[in-house]
Structure 1
Amino acid sequence: MNAERTLRTSRAQTALATNSVLRNTYMLLSLTLLFSAVVAGTAMALNAPHPGIIITLVGYFGLLFAVEKTKNSGMGLVSVFALTGFMGYTIGPILNLYINNFSNGTEIVMLALGGTGTIFLGMSAYALASGKRFNQWAGMLFMGILVAFVMSIIAVVFSIPALSMAVSALFVLLMSGLIVYQTGEIVHGGETNYITATVTLFVTIYNLFLSLLQLLGVFMGEE
């Protein structure tokens, strides 16, 4: 009886901890998305220039490193908002580019935003409803993202539109899978740090939105 009671108590504690991580992740994710949107809107209003690929990569990986180093302390929240704010700033000039260069630019942006939200909610709901853990996807997703990242750098450096399109389509698939994987990890206790989980989901949403924006711009853009 004692062993059975101990097992039930352990399972209850695990479920409670998992629910806490999931709740805190979604709460922080909502706040960071809002903060990032405000920063992006401010950058648009000020017509701020894009920092360029080098500064963007240095800033992203530098702040990502700061998040990793501070994720178990109060400074972790500061690092998260610094990272998501910086990423929001990089989106502002891109949105201005679409709105100014396409007569239906606002429609394209809204469709990309709606598509991102729909995919995120759909993939999250699938992960939650399935009750499965998708840890077997980890290696495939890691390699896929690494390959897509290298391909995206090549496409930008050598100005290859067709490769950029292929990378965007690949990123949509990879980010959709990453949402399922990360949500499954949270639910099943594979991810216990809500700051790390938040950053992963935020970056996923960021890449998903930009990829959809590029695809829609190519297929729907009216100059």
Structure 2
Amino acid sequence: MALNDYNTNTYTGIIDVPREETSSLLAKVLAITSFGFFVTALGVATAPPWGTFVGFIVVLGLVFAINFTRKANPAVALGLFLTLTYFMGWEIGPLIQRYIHNFGSGIVFNAAATTGAGMAVMGCVAYLFNINYRRIAGIGFAALLLLIIAGIASMFFHFLSPDTYSWLTLGIFGLLTVGDFARIRAGGDGRSAVSLSLSIYLDAINIFLAVLQLMGGRRRN
């Protein structure tokens, strides 16, 4: 989508919106996402040992619910998002607790700090350059589907090591993160702050888990 009010690149999906016009949207997205991570930490702290499957089912359902209500009722969508972030804590909590038990809490802190620094760098890249976020989203989604298929196949044929899978996950979600920040830079493409926050949040969670796996693999070796 191109806007005639601004100097734009001719490629669809690259919109040169003045930064001051998207700073408010970016601030809302970062505030919602940051609070979501705080709620996730509470979810991790209270996650039962059997919480992974329950958390996964609830999170999956809430993703669809948020996409359904994001425009009709933003307040309800925000409540659903925060509920999702809590149950995401249930989903990943048992895994994180195992890492803490095996390697100490430092590995989780280092993975979180690395993820935060990486997200900041990718956000800066998206804001410094005009990026075709639609093209990146298309490439990233296709790559993600291939990774999921490869991961399922590898369960039977064992051609992907956990570290290789984690590196591929980092690359794909890094690309998607740049695209999501570029979408915010372009004015959001009609999406609400909650919907944009959900995308950034899920990017960060997947990057965090990949970094945690790589750090754990290095310590095991």
Shorter-chain TM band: 0.7 to 0.9
> Matched residue of 1:132: which SS?
coil
Query: CA distance change for structure 1 residues 89 and 179 in 2, over 3 Å: closer, same or farther?
Result: same
Look up the match of 1:209: 208
TM-score by length of 2: 0.81
CA apart distance, 1:17 = 5.6
Task: Please show how residues 20-169 of structure 1 align to structure 2 within 5 Å.
Answer: 20-43=24-47, 48-53=48-53, 55-72=54-71, 73=73, 74-102=75-103, 105-155=104-154, 157-158=155-156, 160=158, 162-169=160-167
Matched pairs, number: 206
Kindly provide the amino acid, as one letter, of the partner of residue 92 in structure 2.
I
Q: Runs of 5+ in structure 2 lacking a partner?
A: 7-16
Counterpart residue number, 2:9 = none
Q: Which has the higher helix share?
A: 1
- What is the CA–CA distance in structure 2 between the aligned matches of 1:161 and 1:51, rounded to whole Å? 29
Contact residue 152 and residue 164 of structure 1 kept, 8 A: no
1:19 corresponds, among 20, 23, 26, to 23
Alignment RMSD (CA, Å)? 2.7
Structure 2 Cα separation of the partners of residues 52 and 92 of structure 1: 7
Tell whether 2:188 aligns with 1:187: no
Task: State how far apart, in whole Å, the 2-side matches of 1:217 and 1:160 are.
Answer: 20
How much identity, in percent, do the aligned residues show? 26
Shift in Å at residue 164 of structure 1?
Answer: 2.9
Corresponding letter in the other structure for 1:26: L
**Structure 1: unaligned runs, 5 residues or longer:** 1-6
Letter of the 1:64 counterpart: V
User: Structure 2 CA distance, aligned partners of 1:161 and 1:35?
Assistant: 37
Deviation at 1:96, TM superposition (A): 1.2
The answer as to whether partners of 1:134 and 1:184 remain within 8 angstroms in 2 is yes
Q: Are 1:173 and 2:206 an aligned pair?
A: no
In the alignment, the residues of structure 1 paired with residue 186 and residue 35 of structure 2 have an alpha-carbon distance, to the nearest angstrom, of: 24
Residue 189 of structure 1 deviates from its aligned partner by: 2.4
TM-score norm. by structure 1 comes to 0.81
Structure number, greater radius of gyration = 1
Give a deviation string over 1:140-166, Cα, whole Å, max 9, x none: 1011111222333445x5494944322
Give the 3 Å change call, closer, same or farther, for CA 130–17 of structure 1 in structure 2: closer
